[in-house]
């Protein structure tokens, strides 16, 4: 929290035009090294090295004359102790910067690399009114995404931090943001999508431990995941406007596991990667389904299952007024998607003696549970499911109709009426 993330390890010079610096991260002890080569072309100059603890630089003085161009070229190489095919990070940085070409040569390679990326992921929205501005905005968002996730991150054990790799907010924790970028990655960079799913699979053990500690079965992925997959969500939060510390219940956003299941299912659907489903994906999906099966409780009076004490994606509603416990009951998004997860778990189980060759263990009551689980909105809305269809009913006492948007269908349900459709994905 104090912003001191790096501890100096060493610094120095290498020849006349190169300086280097190595630090390590304060908690994870990852070493990071930079080597900087600075060249001056076009005029007489003097050069001195300035060096302090955790800081090194060249101090260059030159006389610039009218009409005489002067070029100052600085090239930096960066390596970490996590990089592959190196001996040591500072040595690797010095070797790379010494072998680096000129600015013009590096720029040419840079342009070729970006051209390749744009040809792979570019989206052309066509021509028309405001199309140019819309295209520019779309390109900007894709550029930000590619700064964090691309083919270059496939070999790295990384998730999708909420502010990317270039923002310090949320302390680098991983939430559920991959849900929003997976549709793009699955079609344009499926190998990157697979790597992100493996990131979650490597932390499945920690998710299982979290579920057991909370009294559930299966795997419960955290709202704010640390580097090892543990829950890092704060339990108190500083309100910057009032200066008061307030309770923070956002760890009750249990729908991260739903996002993981949703992403892996659609990845396998789009790519046909049954090897991944058999070796990693099915295990994650079934463990997430086991969690939701154990998180649901049966309400005999209503003859339905309920999920209580959670926070949905709407973080502004995290408890009932005057309640003695945090969380809401039967959050619409959570219950709806929990049923979806259970349905997909049944799909996986149907394949276990076929192409997947699985022998998973799930509670016997899973099939009965998924057909009875309901969600109750706060406006008298009731949704019923079977394996293939969804039916949404509106209580007759409601004062106003509701509008629904499901995929490409838009419908209006009047008080006392209902709407029925085939479930997406069946």
Q: Do residues 94 and 158 both lie within one domain?
A: no
194 and 271, same domain (yes or no): yes
Domain that holds residue 42: 6-100
Q: How far apart are CA 127 and CA 124, in angstroms?
A: 9
CATH number assigned to the domain comprising residue 282: 1.50.10.10
What gap in Å lies between CA 385 and CA 341, rounded to an integer? 13
Residue 228 φ/ψ, nearest 5 degrees: -100, 5
* Strand ranges in 211-271 using DSSP code E only, listed in sequence order: 236-238, 245-247
Q: Do 92 and 153 share a structural domain? A: no
Across 20-39, average pLDDT: 95
The average pLDDT across 283-309 equals 89
Name the domain boundary from 355, 378, 401. 378
Taken as a whole, the chain contains a residue count of: 426
Taking Cα atoms as reference points, which of 77, 86, 99 lies closest to residue 21?
A: 77
What's the rounded mean pLDDT across residues 154-174?
A: 82
- Do 220 and 310 reside in the same domain of the chain? yes
The helix (run of H) or strand (run of E) holding residue 16 is: none
CA 90 to CA 11: how far, in whole Å?
9
In this structure, how many other beta carbons lie within 10 angstroms of the beta carbon of residue 279?
Answer: 13
Record the pTM.
Answer: 0.81
pLDDT for 98-138, tens place per residue?
999 999 999 999 999 999 999 998 888 888 888 889 999 99
Between the CA of residue 112 and those of 78, 107, 108, 115, 417, what are the distances in Å? 21, 9, 6, 5, 59
| Span 200-240, pLDDT tens digits | 999 999 999 999 999 999 999 999 998 899 998 888 888 88
The reply to whether 129 belongs to the active site is: no
DSSP letter for 166, please: S
Which residue in the list 315, 365, 414, 420 is annotated as catalytic? 315
- Domain-terminating residue out of 378, 394, 419: 378
Number of helices (H), then strands (E), belonging to the chain: the values are 11, 16
* Maximum mean pLDDT: which of 83-97, 320-334, 350-364, 392-406: 83-97
What pLDDT, on a 0 to 100 scale, did the predictor assign at position 379? Answer: 43
> CA 33, CA 388: separation in Å to the nearest integer?
56
């Amino acid at each position: 929290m104090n912003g001191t993330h790096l501890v100096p390890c060493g610094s120095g010079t290498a020849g006349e035009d190169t300086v280097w610096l190595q630090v390590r991260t304060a908690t994870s002890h990852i070493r990071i090294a930079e080597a900087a080569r600075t060249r001056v072309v076009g005029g007489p100059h003097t050069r001195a090295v300035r060096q302090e603890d955790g800081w090194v630089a060249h101090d260059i003085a030159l006389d610039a004359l009218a009409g005489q161009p002067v070029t100052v070229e600085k090239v930096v190489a960066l390596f970490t102790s996590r990089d592959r095919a190196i001996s040591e990070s500072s040595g690797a940085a010095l070797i790379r910067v010494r072998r680096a070409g000129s600015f013009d040569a590096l720029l040419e390679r840079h342009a070729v690399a970006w051209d390749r990326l744009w040809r792979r992921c570019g989206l052309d929205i066509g021509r028309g009114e405001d199309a140019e501005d819309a295209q520019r905005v779309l390109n900007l968002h894709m550029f930000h995404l590619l700064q964090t996730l691309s083919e270059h991150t496939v070999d790295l054990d990384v998730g999708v931090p909420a502010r990317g790799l270039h923002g310090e907010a949320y302390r680098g924790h991983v939430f559920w943001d991959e849900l929003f970028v997976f549709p793009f990655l699955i079609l344009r960079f499926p190998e990157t999508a697979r790597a992100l799913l493996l990131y979650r699979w490597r932390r499945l053990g920690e998710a299982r431990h979290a579920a057991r500690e909370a009294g559930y079965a299966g795997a419960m992925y955290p709202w704010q995941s640390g580097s090892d997959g543990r829950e890092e969500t704060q339990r108190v939060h500083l309100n910057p406007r009032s200066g008061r510390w307030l309770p923070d219940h956002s760890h009750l956003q249990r729908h991260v596991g739903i996002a993981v299941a949703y992403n892996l299912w659609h990845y396998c659907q789009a790519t046909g990667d049954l090897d991944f489903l058999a070796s990693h994906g099915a295990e994650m999906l079934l463990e997430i389904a086991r969690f939701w099966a154990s998180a649901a409780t049966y309400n005999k009076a209503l003859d339905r299952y309920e999920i209580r004490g959670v926070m949905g994606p709407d973080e502004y509603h995290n408890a009932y007024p005057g309640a003695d416990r945090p969380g809401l009951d039967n959050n619409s998004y959570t219950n709806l998607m929990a049923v979806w997860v259970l349905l997909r778990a049944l799909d996986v189980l149907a394949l276990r003696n076929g192409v997947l060759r699985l022998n998973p263990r799930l509670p016997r009551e899973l099939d009965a549970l998924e057909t009875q689980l309901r969600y109750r909105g706060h406006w008298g809305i009731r949704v019923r499911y079977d394996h293939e269809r969804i039916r949404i009913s509106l209580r007759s006492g409601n004062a106003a109709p509701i509008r629904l948007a499901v995929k490409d269908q838009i419908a209006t349900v009047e008080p006392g009426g209902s709407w029925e459709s085939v479930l997406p994905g069946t």
